[in-house]
Amino acid sequence: MTAHSVAVLREAWRAIEAGEFARGPRSAIAARSDFANWTPSQGERVVAVVGCAGGVGASTLALALATATGVPARVVECCPPLASGFSAVANAELGTDGPWRRGSRGHVFLERLTATDAIVPVPAASAVEWTFLDAAWTTVSDPGAGWLGSLVRTLDEVVMITNATVPGLRRLESCAELLGRDALGVVVGPTAKRWPRPVKVAAAGIPARVHMTDFPLDSRLQVTGLTPDPLPAPLLKAAQNVLALLRKDPT
């Protein structure tokens, strides 16, 4: 039997008392918040994890970063349900909160959307210390992306992730230009020293304001996707390195 923390049990009981397991999500009218604004809770540090293309590992990186913090953290997945990478990740389901379905795995809370909407709804307030927004590159490029696009374009800490290919580095370069300011670039694949020469040449085009680091590719997760099982140790170690860069030099 899986053991759950007091915080997880408290959240589950809150959901039961609210009838969220019984009724499911509230209606769109009742659940909808002001799309224009979202203010993090006091002491909540927010990091945007932006995938420069689909399938490059943004959800895996966001989950690894939240896990590596070692403190209460959450990942808010900002994509339609059919594109979710978190449908089978939670160890415990905590019901719904408006348009969000909540779950947990250890000290990490997961929030994913229950329905497709043109604009991502505003997340609920939380008492976590870290929130990682799992977002797509369109939040940087689309001025009509609501609160999420506005936040990502002004947020202090943005992590952009891509894969170690020439097209991947070119997508990172384009996203960096769209963002137009400091960011952390994470490249999934072999270590930078082992990149093929064409990839190194492509990486030379990344603006100097983007601090670059690498992140390992896990062959098992490539096949299974994210599951409730613990993340592989190399991914967590790499996530700790990324967190150290964020903590050392917040942009």
Please state, in angstroms and rounded to a whole number, the distance separating the CA atoms of residues 83 and 140: 19
Angle (CA) 62-153-43 rounded to 5° is 60
For CA atoms 172, 109, 91, 78, the dihedral sign is negative
- Residue 99 — φ and ψ, nearest 5°? -80, 5
- DSSP annotation of 125 reads P
Options 3.40.50.2000, 3.20.20.70, 3.40.140.10, 3.40.50.300; CATH of 44-248: 3.40.50.300
- Residues 215, 245: contact at Cβ < 8 Å? no
Is the pLDDT assigned to residue 207 strictly greater than 60?
Answer: yes
* pLDDT of res. 197: 97
Which of 113-127, 195-209, 220-234 is least confident? 113-127
Is the pLDDT score of 114 beyond 60? Answer: yes
Distance of alpha carbon 110 from alpha carbon 227, whole angstroms: 13
Look at residue 144 in the predicted model and tell me its pLDDT. 67
pLDDT of residue 27: 35
Taking the C-alpha atoms of residue 186 and residue 156, their distance in angstroms, rounded to an integer, is 16
Whether residue 12 has pLDDT greater than 80: no
Asked whether the predicted pLDDT for residue 118 surpasses 50, the reply is yes
Helices 233-248 and 58-69 pack at an angle, to 10 degrees, of 80
Helix (H, G, I), strand (E, B) or coil at 150: helix
Domain residue extents for the chain: 44-248
Distance CA 193, CA 209 (A): 20
Out of 27-31, 136-140, 194-198, 225-229, pick the least confident.
27-31
Q: What is the pLDDT of residues 44-71, one digit of tens each?
A: 999 999 999 999 999 999 999 999 999 9
pLDDT in tens, 66-81: 999 999 999 999 988 8
The answer to whether residue 92 scores a pLDDT higher than 80 is yes
| In the predicted structure, residue 5 carries a pLDDT above the cut 70 | no
| Mean pLDDT within 220-235 | 95
| Residue corresponding to tokens 């020293």 | 193
Q: Which amino acid is at 48?
A: A
**Residue 208 in this model has a pLDDT that exceeds 60:** yes
Predicted local distance difference test score (pLDDT) of residue 41: 87
Q: How far apart are CA 193 and CA 175, in angstroms?
A: 23
pLDDT at res. 36? 57
What is the structure's pLDDT at 23? 41
250 class by beta-carbon count within 10 Å (0-12 exposed, 13-18 middle, 19+ buried): exposed
Query: E strand or H helix at 241, and its extent?
Result: helix 233-248
CA distance 28 to 45: 28
